[in-house]
Amino acid sequence: MKKIRGFYIGRFQPYHYGHQSVIEHIAEEVDEIVIGIGSAQQSHSPENPYTAGERVLMITRALEHSVSLPFYVIPIEDIQRNALWVSHARAISPPFNVVYSSNPLVVRLFNEAGAEVISPEMFIRENYSGTEIRRRMLVGEDWMSLVPPVVADVINEIDGVGRLQDVSGSD
Amino acid sequence: MKKIRGFYIGRFQPYHYGHQSVIEHIAEEVDEIVIGIGSAQQSHSPENPYTAGERVLMITRALEHSVSLPFYVIPIEDIQRNALWVSHARAISPPFNVVYSSNPLVVRLFNEAGAEVISPEMFIRENYSGTEIRRRMLVGEDWMSLVPPVVADVINEIDGVGRLQDVSGSD
Amino acid sequence: MKKIRGFYIGRFQPYHYGHQSVIEHIAEEVDEIVIGIGSAQQSHSPENPYTAGERVLMITRALEHSVSLPFYVIPIEDIQRNALWVSHARAISPPFNVVYSSNPLVVRLFNEAGAEVISPEMFIRENYSGTEIRRRMLVGEDWMSLVPPVVADVINEIDGVGRLQDVSGSD
Amino acid sequence: MKKIRGFYIGRFQPYHYGHQSVIEHIAEEVDEIVIGIGSAQQSHSPENPYTAGERVLMITRALEHSVSLPFYVIPIEDIQRNALWVSHARAISPPFNVVYSSNPLVVRLFNEAGAEVISPEMFIRENYSGTEIRRRMLVGEDWMSLVPPVVADVINEIDGVGRLQDVSGSD
Amino acid sequence: MKKIRGFYIGRFQPYHYGHQSVIEHIAEEVDEIVIGIGSAQQSHSPENPYTAGERVLMITRALEHSVSLPFYVIPIEDIQRNALWVSHARAISPPFNVVYSSNPLVVRLFNEAGAEVISPEMFIRENYSGTEIRRRMLVGEDWMSLVPPVVADVINEIDGVGRLQDVSGSD
Amino acid sequence: MKKIRGFYIGRFQPYHYGHQSVIEHIAEEVDEIVIGIGSAQQSHSPENPYTAGERVLMITRALEHSVSLPFYVIPIEDIQRNALWVSHARAISPPFNVVYSSNPLVVRLFNEAGAEVISPEMFIRENYSGTEIRRRMLVGEDWMSLVPPVVADVINEIDGVGRLQDVSGSD
């Protein structure tokens, strides 16, 4: 029997429980998951503080403890041409059969390419967002409760809060 | 006698009667027209919903019915370096003698390169703009009266309104 | 009835009777032709002496005199990623239904993308090739008999033989 | 105790027993392995027939059956600037402490950056090379004995031999 | 005795007395200065009106009259990847030992790379900023008192105020 | 009286007495010299072993001791589009009036752009070439007699011969 492989894309700045909730739901429907890390070339900016490699580490650490099916974590650099993005994502990822995304652009692009797309917005716990986590980091509020403990460990090891504060400073 | 070839550049998102009015005036002054499609690599975004190929089709269809002189429709990708843009446009276009533009940056760049530039702003019918057409598409108001019928056909065939609405959705 | 649009790609360095023969055969099978100019960003080199704009002019001049169906001449810059090339060509060209190519890579890429591909090698007159024409230009042999007279005119107007000889000089 | 993470880079066109032998030796010396897939943006060419995603699949399949320590498989696009390559590899990979490479350029670049580099050439079984495998594929000789069975399965599923033969054809 | 070479980066749009004050203070602490011109590929925009070459000329003219130690003026194009920027700056500049910057991102990036960074904000005379100078140019207020006379000469020779006004015009 | 500024371009891998001879001759004809370092983004390869910054240092050191007129040393990255190269070189360099080059492509490109070009081949001492110097470095023959002593110092400080030998090694 052919394996069903699902594709899920995010920027994961940082990886949080909202992502984890989606992935756990996807895990019930597929045999394997490909997790694409978008804007992989970006780092050290207020919107994208962490490198692709740091994000690979966060995701892998978190999933080792939460899902049992095989997963692939793939950094995907921006291609700056929307019409080519689906081909770009397909070329750098192991083949996948179904796309999970609630991003309207990603949904549209895969739909125009004829792919099956499922929007998992219903799974997302409202309180979790990268924007909110980065805001809390900047002002010194609690953010660790929004991410798996192993992700907090990675962020702390790389001085991830200090970096975000520094790169958010005005010149 | 040497032919006069005019150059006219726009993004044509989408092509509308304002563009057509300008081209019809240029057509009275030159032997041939080169129409450059700017930001050719862009598509599927709120500001640039249509691919270069779709825009080539809109323009060609419209001009077949409205001008009788020869024209060239040339997609021009952004070069991200203003100081090189004139050379870039000249390399990808058939040679031209006179530039028609009311965009201050384009005018300045061609002027610094020593080209003859004519600003056709007086021809432009005020009510026509790509921004206004895209706004109407988003909210479901009449936009078809602002573009030639063959352009509306192209947009409808590619579900151009649905695409604009999708890619303008927030994540 | 839906129009059949054929896609034909080449570098056209320069456009010659071999290309013209293929296009005339394609013209019998389709309603419109899209002619993609490959390696559009290249010029002033021994393999690619002419700019995309100069090649647009050669092709347009030649086809005005030899085919009666509508055609589109589209410069296509290299994308440096084979897996994205089909999407790139489709984004910058008006939509097409059938691809004509005898280039093994182009055939393979379109086949993997599920496109219909026809290899028109049987139409090609053996004696015509860009390589042979450029060789003759370099050594001063007759090359004009291998291209339509209007193409020879374009090349002579831009000092195309002198340019090829200069850029082929060793440092 | 801090984990030792080793970095090993190759193009893996395709992954073969020579790579596997090296990785098995590295596995004895480190806690985790990062496997970088070089020239990730390349595919469908005689030297680089397979996409990054296909190579991720080959490597992951093979290592699931041969090593027991955690591994990361990271596509790394070429950056075209040797002086930036180490930073590029570090940004896209989880942090690593020691580099395993016998490629003189890679060794030099990491040495200039102050990294610890170990050259595992002594482990490589002489008979295995991507060049030799691709040669055998082209001429129809046995190549499957040079790669793990699961890698042969991946190659056969994607018609990998047919693709190599096609893209190696002359125009 | 080894020479101390300091590195100072700015966009210099245009070079003004604030920059000069910083450089004069750095000159007291080092043997040679490397001045990096950031966003070197940018020009003809409201934020970046002048080309890298024009900025090289401004800086060189000004420093000939104000410092006596050797200096290098190096255009540095944006690399669009923060994690690679330090390597990029180091590759294009003569080797330097100490970095002078008060830009939080630059400070952070060099700190993560292990470089010695000194923040010279205390030297900066508050009234000088490129933003203020460009604002004055746009509205016709006095800007010449904020830059060295030789810099004003360069700007006037290239019609630098006219250019800024043109490229700041709305379409 | 307007100053005459000459432009001279090379890769300077490494800078040698042949370059110096040309520059000394140019120095007799102009008021200032702009020295463009071509392929600035390249380093650590057999043809281009040294970074732009290292080449800036070699040239500056050598000219401090051999010419008395002002000079500018400008790294110029490849633009990969010959038709844009002249604009690219002009944007990154201080304005220049006359070009000195014996490279046929550079001569052709500047001629097509209408620039005055002088070919200084007659000044070049035949025995000096970067290719010959790199060959001698690889095989351990005397190369230091072909470059100014300060250039040899720079190369030795950066282990320039060791680097060339390493990056020229086969994998």
Residue E124 lies in a domain: yes
- The C-alpha atoms of residue E120 and residue E16 are separated, in whole angstroms, by 16
Mean of the per-residue pLDDT values of chain D? 94
In the prediction, which pLDDT does E128 show?
86
- Inter-chain touch F170–D104, beta carbons under 8 Å: yes
- The C-alpha atoms of residue A163 and residue A155 are separated, in whole angstroms, by 10
Taking CB atoms and an 8 Å cutoff, what residues of chain E touch D87? 83-84, 86-87
In the prediction, which pLDDT does C128 show?
86
Taking CB atoms and an 8 Å cutoff, what residues of chain A touch C86? 87
* Lookup result for tokens 């998992």: A120
Query: Would you give the DSSP letter of residue B126?
Result: T
In the prediction, which pLDDT does B102 show?
87
In the prediction, which pLDDT does D126 show?
62
In the prediction, which pLDDT does E108 show?
97
Task: For residue A154, give how far its alpha carbon lies from the nearest alpha carbon of chain D (Å).
Answer: 10
The answer to whether E78 faces chain D, any CB pair under 8 Å, is no
Task: For residue D133, give how far its alpha carbon lies from the nearest alpha carbon of chain C (Å).
Answer: 20
In the prediction, which pLDDT does F1 show?
56
Q: What value does the CA radius of gyration of chain A take, rounded to a whole number of Å?
A: 16
| Structure confidence at residue F124 as a pLDDT band (50, 70, 90) | low
In the prediction, which pLDDT does B168 show?
96
**Residue E86 backbone phi and psi in degrees, to 5:** -65, -45
- The C-alpha atoms of residue F52 and residue C39 are separated, in whole angstroms, by 29
Look at C141-145, D7-11, D101-105, F91-95 and tell me which has the smallest mean pLDDT: D101-105
- Inter-chain touch A105–B166, beta carbons under 8 Å: yes
Full domain range(s) for residue C137: 5-165
Structural domains counted in chain F = 1
Tokens of C23: 């296009």
Q: List chains adjacent to chain B, taking adjacency as at least 3 C-beta pairs closer than 8 Å.
A: A, C, E, F
Amino acid code (one letter) for D87: S
CB F153 within 8 A of CB F129: no
Q: List chains adjacent to chain E, taking adjacency as at least 3 C-beta pairs closer than 8 Å.
A: A, B, D, F
- The C-alpha atoms of residue E40 and residue B80 are separated, in whole angstroms, by 12
The answer to whether F43 faces chain E, any CB pair under 8 Å, is yes
B vs A contact (3+ beta-carbon pairs below 8 A): yes
In this model, does residue D29 exceed pLDDT 70?
A: yes
Mean pLDDT, consecutive 10-residue stretches, chain B (171 aa), reads: 90 96 94 98 98 98 93 97 98 97 94 93 71 96 97 98 92 48
- Inter-chain touch A43–D74, beta carbons under 8 Å: no
**Residue C166 backbone phi and psi in degrees, to 5:** -65, -50
Residue C11 lies in a domain: yes
Inter-chain contacts counted by CB atoms under 8 A, chains A and D: 60
The answer to whether E79 faces chain B, any CB pair under 8 Å, is no
**Rounded average pLDDT over F107-130:** 84
Handedness of CA D47, D50, D56, D59 (dihedral sign): negative
In the prediction, which pLDDT does A76 show?
98
Name the nearest CA neighbour of B160 among B137, B129, B136, B128.
B137
In this model, does residue F85 exceed pLDDT 70?
A: yes
Distances B82 to B79, B87, D161, E50, E152 between C-alpha atoms, Å: 7, 10, 46, 10, 23
Stretch (H or E) spanning C92: helix C82-92
In this model, does residue C159 exceed pLDDT 60?
A: yes
Name the nearest CA neighbour of C132 among C35, C29, C17.
C17
Residue A170 lies in a domain: no
Tokens of A90: 């397909």
| D48 → chain C, closest CA residue | C82
- Inter-chain touch D102–F45, beta carbons under 8 Å: no
Mean of the per-residue pLDDT values of chain E? 94
| D129 → chain F, closest CA residue | F171
Question: Which residue numbers in chain A have pLDDT < 70?
Answer: 1, 121-126, 170-171
In the prediction, which pLDDT does C120 show?
77
In the prediction, which pLDDT does B135 show?
97
The answer to whether A52 faces chain D, any CB pair under 8 Å, is yes
- Inter-chain touch D94–A53, beta carbons under 8 Å: yes
Check which CATH number belongs to the domain holding A110 and give it: 3.40.50.620
Residue A171 lies in a domain: no
Task: For residue D12, give how far its alpha carbon lies from the nearest alpha carbon of chain F (Å).
Answer: 14
Name the nearest CA neighbour of D64 among A72, A91, A75.
A72
In the prediction, which pLDDT does F120 show?
77
| D89 → chain E, closest CA residue | E84
Name the nearest CA neighbour of A126 among A155, A96, A102, A104.
A102
The answer to whether F4 faces chain C, any CB pair under 8 Å, is no
In this model, does residue C171 exceed pLDDT 90?
A: no
* N-to-C CA span, chain F: 58
Query: Would you give the DSSP letter of residue C39?
Result: S
Mean of the per-residue pLDDT values of chain C? 94
| D90 → chain E, closest CA residue | E83
- Each residue's pLDDT tens digit, C1-14: 578 999 999 999 99
Taking CB atoms and an 8 Å cutoff, what residues of chain D touch A74? 53, 56, 75
- Each residue's pLDDT tens digit, D95-153: 999 999 989 999 999 999 999 999 876 556 567 899 999 999 999 999 999 999 999 99
| Structure confidence at residue F159 as a pLDDT band (50, 70, 90) | very high
The number of C-alpha atoms within 13 Å of C81 and in the hemisphere containing its C-beta is 20
Beta bridge partners, D135, equal none
- Chain F, window 106-165: residues with a beta carbon less than 8 angstroms from a chain E beta carbon: none
Pairing relation of β-strands B71-75 and C98-100? Answer: unpaired
In the prediction, which pLDDT does F161 show?
98
**Rounded average pLDDT over F4-18:** 96
pTM, full prediction: 0.96
B vs D contact (3+ beta-carbon pairs below 8 A): no
CB F22 within 8 A of CB F126: no
Residue E168 lies in a domain: no
Residue A132 lies in a domain: yes
- Each residue's pLDDT tens digit, A113-136: 999 999 876 556 567 899 999 999
- Each residue's pLDDT tens digit, E84-135: 999 999 999 999 999 999 899 999 999 999 999 998 765 565 678 999 999 9
In the prediction, which pLDDT does A122 show?
57
- Inter-chain touch F104–C163, beta carbons under 8 Å: no
**Rounded average pLDDT over C127-140:** 93
| Structure confidence at residue D161 as a pLDDT band (50, 70, 90) | very high
Residue from the list C83, C102, C103 with its beta carbon closest to the beta carbon of D51: C83
Q: Kindly provide the b/e burial profile for residues A128-140, where b requires at least 16 CB atoms within 10 angstroms of the residue's own CB.
A: bebeebbebbeee
